[in-house]
Structure 1
Amino acid sequence: MLILLFLCVVAGLLSLVVAIQFSATLRRITWNPPRDDGSTHEAKVSVVIPARDEEQDIAQALQSVLNQVGVDLEVVVINDHSSDRTGAIVDSLAATDSRLKILHNPALPPGWLGKCNAMQQAAALTSGDYLLFTDADVIHDPSSMVTALAEMGRSRLDFFSLFPRVDCLSVWENVLAPVFVGGMVQYATTGIEAGDSRDAVAAGAFMMVRSTAFRAVGGFEPIRSEMFDDVSLARLLKASGYRIGFRAAPQLLQVRLFKGNRHAFWGMTKNILEVLGGRLWLAPFVMLLPVFVFWTPLLAFAVGLIQGNRLLVAVAAFTYLIQYSLLWLGWRLFSFHPIKVLLFPLVAVVVASCLIRALYYQTFKGAVRWRGRTVRVRGLPPTQVEIISKSTLEES
């Protein structure tokens, strides 16, 4: 009984530490951009949007890009071998707006992952002073780009990334709330904008970069096999001496990151091994940590009720309340359902399942899994893999 009480207290203290770190992170990245005053920016912005099987969101997202005010705009959409109506939808929009160009089914050279290749090929077709890389499911406020350009000028940035509001609708999307918190704490460190730190972070939802800087570092070519293409691009630019910035902008961008329960449950499979940093021996610890932190209070609460131990029940309930309250710190960034998110301890099941699946694909198939494709690779970890060839793409 005393051991269980002690473990519950430890879980609560760990949660408090994360809460403090998360609160500090939010203070660092919170941004209150000026209201749209109708100003314009003379620079030309080339928007690059990779899209694979995005028929559910592409029309609304693309229209929100075309509706931008105060900027000279060109847009290139890459239909990356979609199996749904993505290509047809984009073609129909291009027929009504001359600013929109379409690149269908780009060839995948050896050594490249699909998304990096798609963005690199599209970037080669652009002529803007700035490049904006954004995803095909992100909804932009009409002033998002001119506001970002103004901030880049004011802060003398070469690269500027905005984090959107993430809408969580289904049960498993809400269960993932602790993952969003943990990711923000891990990557949005105090050194991301410090010139003497190697730390850097970016969100693929919005990455604006000066074209000269992007081309000077070779674009995505040096990071062509990186699964974390957004963070890797930020690190590449920062290591090359360019100034980067990162802000939370829920008022300017929104996205439903996962499209339902199944997508949410398995959606981390592609990137989850990145958390290990190539140290696969950490996998058991990563799987067990959420079990310990989130399930210990539940076990303590149940045992306390059964044995009539009021102290154990109270400590367990207080620990769970701390963890639940921690999620509310980020409510502006992660729009979750207050009832569904109560199931957040189940995130341990998601983490373990995605880790096991990712390790299986890497160990037994020498592959990574992304967007319905199993891409065969050589070498470990995934951040250092080499794509054998396009012909080795295998559906499973």
Structure 2
Amino acid sequence: MTLPLLLALPWLLLPVLAAVFVRRRPALEECNAAADGDAPRVSVIVPARNEALNVEACLRSLRASSYPRLEIILVDDGSTDGTGDVARRAAEGDPRVRIIESDPLPAGWFGKAWACEQGVRAANGELLAFADADVIAAPELVGRSVGVMRARGAALLSAMPHQVLGGFWERVVMAQVGMLFLARYPDPERVNRSPRTRDKIALGGYILIRRDAYEAAGGHRAVRHEVSEDMALAQRFHALGHRTLLVSADRFLRVRMYRSLAEIVEGWSKNLALSSRRTAAGALAGAVPWLLLAGIFFFWLLPPLVLLRGALGMVGWPWVPAAAVAQAAATAFWAAMYRRDGHNPFYALLVPLGALVMCGIVMRSLARGGRVRWKGREYGAMEPTG
């Protein structure tokens, strides 16, 4: 059995690699906010397009914030599902909350960046927080993120949320997305220490920024052509010498990004290939989506395919026993990951299905080239101008 075990070694090493490299530090609970008298004013800007299902819970969670100097600005970005009406009902009676209607989208802008830009124009805060309409914030989120930002001397802080996986396809496919993220960013502190711009990332669910640094970096206008404006903003900050910080916020921030297979496919098709290219430099950047595809296939689809071919009598020793060991190791690894995140470990048996869907998403994203379709809008390939 020595040869099959050697062939299965990459899968047998998965838990070891996870134990060595995957970290959840720094975490927001490491530092509290400054005293009330010294607390800077924070403007929380929520860009929202067709978020009627999520926006009430989001606004109510932000209204429950324990932070003493807070304003909340929701920008209704041309919604057609009544998002603005739901938001106004959720904000009723709270003078800290304003709902503003977005101006028409100018040429050369992606919708979210344009909504954020307008929110900033209406904001009064020394610190700007950008929160997606599908997040639920704990009362301590803003205060703790302000405290950590100031303690670490950062100009931009991005919080890694707890992913809520509510349905079958979320648990089968979104888990694959999470694994891709962990493979590239296993340790937030390594991201924070890295001197390379391509290693920097921000997650749009919640980003806190010093206003002076934001304006010096050109704000969202400087990344208006980027479909992943959050990552582009973090990389621009770093390139200009501003410190960025990625923190774990599992206890203080939750997000449920998508609720159906169709939403998952459409959501990740829009930017997976484009965003992944920003994580590498030079000629390698164009190869990154293909490397993602190869990695998904190799780790999660190859062993069951070999076992299937073995069952049909098409392959034998040592490939079938090696594939059996690899599949057992992969299933055990995923079962532990699902259990860690509070999900039924039996979903590990469906990993090949999730991997197959994920391969389709990567290929769909690649096929789109620079074209983006999202929430009823079509964007062609955009280049920075001015």
Q: Which residue of 2 aligns with 1:142?
A: 139
Q: Which residue of 1 aligns with 2:377?
A: 373
TM alignment of 1:63-78, pairs within 5 A: 63-78=60-75
* CA distance in 2 between partners of 1:230 and 1:37 (Å): 24
* 3-state SS in 2 of match to 1:226: coil
TM-superposed CA distance for 1:200, in Å, is: 0.8
* CA distance in 2 between partners of 1:255 and 1:98 (Å): 26
Question: Is the contact made by 2:48 and 2:132 (CA closer than 8 Å) also made in structure 1?
Answer: yes
1:352 to 351, 355, 359: 359
Larger CA deviation: 263-272 vs 296-305: 296-305
Question: Is the contact made by 1:134 and 1:206 (CA closer than 8 Å) also made in structure 2?
Answer: yes
* CA distance in 2 between partners of 1:354 and 1:236 (Å): 28
Question: Is the contact made by 1:368 and 1:376 (CA closer than 8 Å) also made in structure 2?
Answer: yes
Query: For each residue in 1:272-303, what CA deviation from the matched residue of structure 2 results, as whole angstroms up to 9, or x when unmatched?
Result: 21224596566555444423322221133345
Q: 1:333 to 1:113 in 2, by over 3 A?
A: farther
* 3-state SS in 1 of match to 2:93: coil
Q: Output the amino acid matched with 1:231.
A: M
* CA distance in 2 between partners of 1:13 and 1:81 (Å): 52
TM alignment of 1:52-201, pairs within 5 A: 52-176=49-173, 177-187=175-185, 191-194=190-193, 196-198=195-197, 199-201=199-201
Larger CA deviation: 121-130 vs 343-352: 343-352
Q: Which residue of 2 aligns with 1:392?
A: none
TM-superposed CA distance for 1:35, in Å, is: 8.7
* CA distance in 1 between partners of 2:6 and 2:264 (Å): 31
* CA distance in 2 between partners of 1:335 and 1:228 (Å): 29
Q: 1:268 to 1:296 in 2, by over 3 A?
A: same
Larger CA deviation: 112-121 vs 183-192: 183-192
Query: For each residue in 1:123-176, what CA deviation from the matched residue of structure 2 results, as whole angstroms up to 9, or x when unmatched?
Result: 111111111111101011111111111111222222111101101122221222
Q: Which residue of 1 aligns with 2:300?
A: 294
* CA distance in 2 between partners of 1:75 and 1:108 (Å): 22
Query: For each residue in 1:97-132, what CA deviation from the matched residue of structure 2 results, as whole angstroms up to 9, or x when unmatched?
Result: 111111213321221111111101111111111111
* CA distance in 2 between partners of 1:316 and 1:281 (Å): 27
Q: Which residue of 1 aligns with 2:227?
A: 227
* 3-state SS in 2 of match to 1:29: coil
Query: For each residue in 1:155-200, what CA deviation from the matched residue of structure 2 results, as whole angstroms up to 9, or x when unmatched?
Result: 2222111101101122221222132122232145665222633221
Q: Output the amino acid matched with 1:292.
A: F
TM-superposed CA distance for 1:64, in Å, is: 0.4
* CA distance in 1 between partners of 2:372 and 2:153 (Å): 38
* CA distance in 2 between partners of 1:350 and 1:231 (Å): 25
Q: Output the amino acid matched with 1:146.
A: G
Instruction: Report the structure, 1 or 2, having the larger helix content.
Output: 2
* 3-state SS in 2 of match to 1:111: coil
| Residue 320 of structure 2 is aligned to residue 320 of structure 1 | no
Query: For each residue in 1:336-363, what CA deviation from the matched residue of structure 2 results, as whole angstroms up to 9, or x when unmatched?
Result: 442334312123432333234334443x
TM-superposed CA distance for 1:377, in Å, is: 3.5
Q: 1:18 to 1:218 in 2, by over 3 A?
A: farther
Query: For each residue in 1:355-395, what CA deviation from the matched residue of structure 2 results, as whole angstroms up to 9, or x when unmatched?
Result: 34334443xxx6311223222345xxxxx478xxxxxxxxx
TM alignment of 1:200-279, pairs within 5 A: 200-274=200-274, 275-276=276-277
Query: For each residue in 1:5-34, what CA deviation from the matched residue of structure 2 results, as whole angstroms up to 9, or x when unmatched?
Result: 87x965x44445665554444326352615
| Residue 25 of structure 2 is aligned to residue 29 of structure 1 | yes
TM-score calculated relative to the size of structure 2 = 0.84
Larger CA deviation: 58-67 vs 286-295: 286-295
TM-superposed CA distance for 1:220, in Å, is: 1.1
* 3-state SS in 2 of match to 1:192: helix
Question: Is the contact made by 1:108 and 1:117 (CA closer than 8 Å) also made in structure 2?
Answer: yes
Q: Is there any run of 5+ residues in structure 2 with no aligned partner, and where?
A: none
Larger CA deviation: 178-187 vs 134-143: 178-187
Question: Is the contact made by 1:287 and 1:348 (CA closer than 8 Å) also made in structure 2?
Answer: no
Q: 1:293 to 1:170 in 2, by over 3 A?
A: same
Larger CA deviation: 178-187 vs 45-54: 178-187
* 3-state SS in 1 of match to 2:192: coil
Larger CA deviation: 305-314 vs 82-91: 305-314
Question: Is the contact made by 1:163 and 1:249 (CA closer than 8 Å) also made in structure 2?
Answer: yes
Question: Is the contact made by 1:158 and 1:242 (CA closer than 8 Å) also made in structure 2?
Answer: yes
* 3-state SS in 2 of match to 1:33: helix
Query: For each residue in 1:256-276, what CA deviation from the matched residue of structure 2 results, as whole angstroms up to 9, or x when unmatched?
Result: 121122212332101121224
Percent of aligned positions that are identical: 26
TM-superposed CA distance for 1:328, in Å, is: 5.5
- In angstroms, what is the RMSD of aligned CA positions? 3.2
1:342 to 321, 342, 349: 349
* 3-state SS in 2 of match to 1:267: helix
Query: For each residue in 1:183-226, what CA deviation from the matched residue of structure 2 results, as whole angstroms up to 9, or x when unmatched?
Result: 23214566522263322111111111111111111111111111
* CA distance in 1 between partners of 2:31 and 2:213 (Å): 28
